[in-house]
Each structure stands twice: as structure tokens, then as C-alpha cells.
Amino acid sequence: MKKIRKAVLPVAGLGTRVLPATKCLPKEMLPVFDRPAIQYVVDEARAAGIEHFIFVTGRNKTAIEDYFDSAYELEKTLEYKNKIGVLDQLRDLLPDPGACSFVRQQLPKGLGHAVWCARDVVGDEPFAVLLPDMIMRDDVPCLAQMVEAYERVGGNVISVEEVPQEDVSKYGIVDPDGEQHGLIKMKGMVEKPAREDAPSNYMISGRYILQPEIFDLLENQTPGAGGEIQLTDSMLSLMGNSSFFAMPFKGKTYDTGSKLGYLEAFVALALAHSEHGDESRDLLKKMMKDL
């Protein structure tokens, strides 16, 4: 069984749900307490053993590329000012030289098209996809749990979470077929179904381990929901000849692509901060009293 070494992070989206904040700043770079949202997602991938990060970008996203590079003048200035703590932190967060690739999607044709754009860099091996809008938190991070599941069952593994019935049409929804190995077996999936057509309330929550055969299917995929090339539609085709399991994620997921999800993520990660968590809690309690 091939190890999962590479992760695709589709970051070309325009962030229209959080305008005007994203007018000239990529949504992935919005700070969630003391670091950009994308840092949490890259940290999750690293904790799962990912060695190479493939960012599928678009126009106005160069800040992401600069963020995952060393900043020579800044580092020299911090050194000169003897701010060694923060300098070490910046260096720890940085992926190894050559561990990041950036490919351009060029056209906003949907998530499936974005993932397909990474095909040459991924090559012929299974890989992970992490949707950077979703910050997912648990004692063992979500992708690490999925890699552990993948090592048991092979094939393809996607994360799912239950959502209220009235929200099913916002997501990809899986059609479950009982349980095996502590995972949900699947017999289908559908992208953004009408409420009455949804086969369950398990939404596809933004973490995937996929076999490279998905790329040929994506290449020939016709547009689906919303007129976009949908990853879900190609996964459904792949299911015909490759096993698919859904892993119910039991931790907490924050959708930073929406204003309230972003607020929730910001507060939660301030509270969870190793250095500033207690102060943040005191501040929030004080603010709540004044409401």
C-alpha cells in the first residue's frame, strides 16, 4: 500500500461569502487569532505525515506563496532585535525547501477541476485533499485519523459529518450502506441534492484520501451541480471500481468561508491558544457580562 505523501489544497476560490474582507486578501490568509487560516490546515496535513503541499491557486493569491516562503529581511531584523522566540516560531511553521508547489487553476470551473489541475504534481500515487475553508480540530487531527483508517482499509476514504436536514442542499451528501471496520460503507453520493432527494444527512466535510485514477475521471467529467465540475461526481464514478469509505469525524469543524463560522473559529482558536488561551477566556467572559 502506497503511503499518503502529497496533499492538494484548492485555494483559488474568491471568498465571496466574506467580502469585503477578501476583496484584496485571499480568504485563506484571513487571521484566525494569530495566524492565517491556511496555517491550521497545513499543520493538520503535516501531522498526518504529508511531505508535499500542492496549492491550486488563482489570481490575487500570491500572498499564500509568500507566506510559505522565508522572509529574509524580516528574519534578519528579528535576529538583530534579538526576538528569537518569534523567529524560531516562524521557522518551525515553514515547510521544508521544495515541499510546496503552486499550480494555477486559470478558470473557476469548480472543485473537481481544481483538483485535476494538480494531476502532474501528484503523479501516480494516492493523495489527500484538504479544503482550506474548513478548520477541523480534534485531539488526533482529522487527516491523521483518515490516514490511520486508510492504512487499514485502503482505497478511498472521505470525512463526513452529520448536518441538520435543512442544510443538506449546501453540501455533498453520502448514501450510507452500513458499517465496516468502524467506518461507513458507501453506496453512492450526490452533490448538493434537493432536501427531499438527499440520501442521508452525512455531508462530505472537506478531507479526502483519493486514488490517482480520479484524475482520468475528472478530465472527462461533465459539469454537475451549479454548472461546475464536481469532485463528488467523479468520486461516484470511481466508486464503481475502487472501494470508498466515509469516516465520521467526531471533532469540531469551523467553516471560515462564512462570516459566523469565521467568528466561531477565531474565538475557539483564541481559547485554545497555548499562551493566550486563559487571557482570551477572561476577556470574553468580561465582554459577555457587558452584553
Q: What residue ranges bind ligand G1P (CB under 6 A)? A: 111, 131, 134, 171-172, 191, 203-206, 230-232
10 vs 280, beta carbon nearer ligand G1P: 10
For 120, residues 6+ apart whose C-beta sits below 8 A from its C-beta are 103
Give the integer Cα–Cα distance in Å for 8 and 140. 20
CB of 277 to ligand G1P, least distance (A): 27
7 vs 131, beta carbon nearer ligand G1P: 131
88 vs 167, beta carbon nearer ligand G1P: 167
Q: Is the dihedral of CA 76, 77, 81, 86 positive or negative?
A: negative
200 vs 232, beta carbon nearer ligand G1P: 232
198 vs 204, beta carbon nearer ligand G1P: 204
CB of 135 to ligand G1P, least distance (A): 12
Q: Are strands 134-137 and 252-255 parallel, antiparallel or unpaired?
A: antiparallel
Residue closest to ligand G1P (Cβ): 172
- Closest by CA to 118, choosing from 104, 108, 106, 131, is 104
SS3 state of residue 130 = strand
**Site of grid cell 484538504:** 130
CB of 234 to ligand G1P, least distance (A): 11
CB of 136 to ligand G1P, least distance (A): 11
Residues 44/32, Cβ–Cβ less than 8 Å: no
CB of 163 to ligand G1P, least distance (A): 9
